[in-house]
Structure 1
Amino acid sequence: MVTISDGILSLGQQSVVVPYINTRLHITRFGMGLKIALRNPGIKIIWAQDVLLVVVGRGARAGMCGLCGNFDGQKELSANYENMDLLAYAYPQRLNQECEVKSGPVCSEPWMWSTCSLAVQRMGPCDVPASGFVAMCMNEQCHCENQTMCGCPSLTAFSLECVIGGATLASWRTSNLCAPQDCPGDLVYEECGSTCPQTCANPFQPMCQGCVPGCFCPPDSVLTVSNGTTCVFLSDCNCTLNGDVYAPGAISQQGCRSCVCETGQWSCNSLPCADGCSLEGGSNFITFDHKSFSFNGNCYYYLSMSADWVIEVLLRPCSSFPVERACLKSVTLKSQSMSYEFKSNGNILSSKMIVPLPHESGKISIYKTSSMFLQVFTSFGLKMQVQISPSMQVYITLPEEFRGHTKGLCGNFNGVATDDFMSSQGLVEGTAVVFANSWKASSDCEDIDTVVQDPCLLNMASAESAERKCSILRAPSGVFAQCHHLLDPYRYYKRCMSDACSCPAGQDCVTETQFAYARACASKGNVLHGWRRATDSLVGCLQNQLFSYASDGCKRTCRSLSNQGVACTVTDVPVEVTVRMEYCVAKITQV
């Protein structure tokens, strides 16, 4: 039930903000009033101050009753208006039988008729019959103390019905009768203003039918997004991004685009851009061209490869859990004469020897950015982040020059996601399992079964708990909601459910997926500060460390203070943004 009381709009027991849309209702501003549209059975209700209009389509006419009549096509009420006993007609319509119904005075003074009918004539041509509204206007004149406002509700109702019917009315209000209302701020009153006025947020509104009386911006100006009473020229509109306000002409780097603020909107051009591929949770892949799939492997696989380098991953079953799930055990980077194997325990091997960190050579630089991440840079442009805690995950970034020149589980990096399931035989496969099996790096492994089952159906005991924990990802008022406009959370929610229902003992698969969403948001420039506290998944740090959601690993060691090295000169992100990682970083003590 929708109610309006003292200017507050409520749906049931909950107040709502306009505009409001759900599957049944569409509530919007209509001039200085409100329009409530019921999708089924097609009823529109317009409320403007002391005027209420109900517009009903012909499909809803059956079985109607009330003060507005039964909508049966007969006009007895209009034809016999002056002769009807209105008290007798209104009495049965009471919702509360204890209410008293009183009849008003009957008015027939000639000057009243003249005042009301002249106001109607000033409005101009209208197909709505005016006699009933003139009669109501005369009745209002009978018991009205403020003569300049007498009859205004009826006259306003008539004008609204006219504009709803498509009429364009002339200004009929005068200083002596129904004077135009005072408008706040920069707004001015118009009898026939746009039903969808321009704003800085929506400057290019579609052509709207009809008009409506109310307060509007003067010609050639639009409403700002900051409030509903300030008007500016369109060229002076600010832009918003992630809650921040930018002045006209401001430039923002947004992913692989360079954007400038123009007329309240971001005008963007594409830039040559690096792009990334990831393997998270041991089985969740996102290709360079943003195709996502799941695969629980049990072998060495080619994650990505080009003419001069290869990245292999080792996937193994995590445990004897009822639902089989893969875990990432190692990542190996090979290029010409060098080979580095990153183990899940944090060790790095080259020629079977442990590599101490930081490590820099002519072709590769490796350093530990935090308690959770290793960072890899190569001389040929490939960049890699390896997460070693709490579970192993890998993120690869390639520059534009490799576009269309890669293959493997990360796809061919050609900007087209539909051919990412290109097998090692050059065929586009229909399923992820067949595609992934073709990229085994060892012939000693058997192919994975093509039957993929929903782990939550196999493990119903975990499904309810998974839903409770994973639903926070798409909660409209949750800690992750501030990124929903940048990144659809539904894919991560589905992945969270699958991972939670197949999670090995001792592993927090829900937090892993939440972290994946937070990291993806950070890569788009939106760092979700506080999400770990909100999800009760804080990271414990050593006594001399602090937790940070946004740090780059630069100047975090004694050595880097005097020799910054590659950690302070290169970032493993698209050039337009800085990915801010979360991890434990050492406190810097002043001496």
Structure 2
Amino acid sequence: PPCQQNSHYEVCAKSCGQSCASLYAPVTCPAQCEEDCVCDEGFVLSGHDCVPIARCGCFYQGRYYPALTTFHPKCEERCQCQPGGNVVCEVLPCGPNEECKLVDGVQKCHPTGKATCSVVGGLYLSFDGLAYTFQGTCTYILSKLQEKNVNLEPITVSVENEAWANGEIIVPKVVHVEVFGVHLTLLRNIPGQVLVDGVFYYLPVNLLGGNLRIYQHGISVGIHTSFGFAVSYDLFYHVRVTLPNTYQDQMRGLCGNYNGQKEDDLQLPDGTVVSDVAVFGAAWKFPIPGVSCVDGCSGSLCPVCAEGQQELFRQPGYCGLLTLPEGPFAACHAVLDPTEYLNNCIHELCIGGGDKAIACQSIQSYVTACQAAKVIIQPWRSLSFCSLTCPANSHYDICSNVCEVNCAGLTDHIQCPENCVEGCQCDDGFFFDGLECISLDKCGCFENNRYFPQGQSYLSADCKTRCVCEDKGSVTCFPHSCAAGEECGLRDEIRVCFPKEGHCKLMPGAQLSSFDGLSGDVPAPGTYLLTSLCDVNSQDWFRVVAGVALCPPEEIAAPTLLHVFFKDLFITVNGKNEVWVNGLPVPIPLNITTSITLDVAGNVVVLRSPQVQVTRSPAGGVVVTVQPALSGRVCGACGNFNHDQTDDLQNPNGVAVNNVPELLVSWTARDFTLCVN
């Protein structure tokens, strides 16, 4: 059988007394042994995990709680188990819009209600029920906590939009969620995965002791928290944000302020209420440098639908299916008014050129909202209308719940949503692995609250451990280290060891640090060749020269002039961040060529090219950054960037010198010498 990390399989195991709880109270164990997974030596069972004894939790009022678990012995009392067994409690009475009750086995203060904001293509439905159309293609704040509140968990939800179909329809492309200090990202058309603080995780994900869960639910990915905040995204067209009513009148953004009054939902960040949706939307834009986008249209500039087309798309063969009195959604009409969904469906189908896929997405959004309200929906798809293709070993079901047949649930307790939703349900005997339905023997591993497909390997956060998910859910880990010249980090949202960039620094006070880490004093005055591409015949050739002077009044040695050469280009930056290109003064920012740019970040001048980046700060500090591919291919006082500083003290002839000052003198830029010796 599969065993968790820090445990192993034994044919004859006596493991019932091998737990954190048994450290605090005696446990009666059966005399007979049985096959089971047993914690490795030095580890004991805490909940579902084998942990070091020092990380055991607390035994409090007859119950065991894992370390860092928050619990409520009474509604007006909140306690947390500290590592080592100490329990810290505080008086915390239920607040407004809360009541004390037992939910999912947990007694605490629970919200008395909730509200949902929806994005359906270009239609926005606020928490308070305001419906408006916004066609912006930028990144916008959907909802965020207005200001810090000790009783409320900070929340931010933002969405990046893009054009779809014929370019007239706007759909959500990326959804960002920040909660509990964790940044989650859901990407359009990327099922089965979520970015957690920039790292791709396979679903399901169970974080912070179950307080934050991310899972596939039908066609959507759901994010659910222990305090009632939830986000759902169908990875194409529809986003839902649900908040408990403890957040009433505390939120701002495109979803409104959640104060029960829709009249003031178009509120700018400064509190001003406006009537122009485009102005309102633009005010909640989250600027991203280098991204080109528009904030939609206003009034008569927005596309309209001809009356004849409206009547056509109002028919049951299109959007009219939503409101058929005896149709598949009739049971939901009294719970969720379909009018706004119908109007949006007709409008977007019209401006989208009549593409039926638009109608399918719009209707599907209403179905999702109805099923979230636990309304039973009748089958509405057919082979000729909005058919849904399911992968191998699965079938379409109007009421599916793949969480209940999830591979991760074979080795750990996975809390599943209560409601079923339309989607692809695994056939009998098959299990969902986040992407498809597979046989039991192909299921992967649920390790450290993450699911890994069979055969998947992964690195720890410091790249010092590599683990592999093997068959039968077992995980094997072994020591790992990055090679010389590599560093641990993220590349394409995956943690890997990757080649380092080279950084050479010349700082005020005249200190030089080479690409490989050798450092020393810089003689002043002088003009020195910091680095260049050794191959002078290469089309990518460059040369970086820095002038160092004794600057008054303290006579501190500092870089005062920076000269950068490329083929047919000569760029100079002085101490006042004034720039000359080929001898002519130029303004910045400036695109000098298609691949060489000058920019200003704060007061720092940044010169970028594909091979090298040079920055100069107002204080005179110069940093030269070269790409990993240039390892061993550069020459100058900054060294050869071969990840070995022992050979950095070499003059232009390859002869060793004694120290950094001698090195720099040997690399004096002879075309900039101050005196004739």
Give TM class, smaller chain: 0.3 to 0.5
Q: Which has the larger radius of gyration?
A: 1
Structure with the larger helix share: 1
TM-score (norm 1): 0.47
